[in-house]
Amino acid sequence: MGSRLADYLLSLPGRPHRGGLEVELPVAKKDVASLLDTTPESLSRELRRLRQSGVIIAQEGRRLVIGDLDSLMELSAQG
């Protein structure tokens, strides 16, 4: 699940933001979960884990800041 989420986040268009790269989820989290073939609960747990480890920073709404691009790319490569 982690590598699929990392792949998905890296595929989103981003723009520079202080502290990293800002991306916006184009659909609701439940729909992202469906796209990634997982449950909304599993997606929430994985997003929380990435936040707690400092890889991403939650913003308002569907926006996220990728604060540690290298770690996210490493996670993506594990899949």
pLDDT in tens, 23-50: 999 999 999 999 999 999 999 999 999 9
Strand-pairing partners, residue 17, are: 20
| Four-way CATH pick for 2-77: 1.20.950.20, 1.10.10.10, 3.10.20.740, 1.10.3720.10 | 1.10.10.10
CA angle 14, 36, 62 (to 5 degrees): 40
In this predicted structure, the answer to whether residue 19 has a pLDDT above a threshold of 90 is no
Q: What percentage of residues in the chain have a pLDDT greater than 70?
A: 100
Sorting pLDDT into bands at 50, 70 and 90, what band is 79?
confident
Query: Domain-by-domain residue ranges, the chain?
Result: 2-77
One DSSP character per residue, the chain reads: -HHHHHHHHHHS-EEEETTEEEEE-SS-HHHHHHHTTS-HHHHHHHHHHHHHTTSEEE-STTEEEES-HHHHHHHHHT-
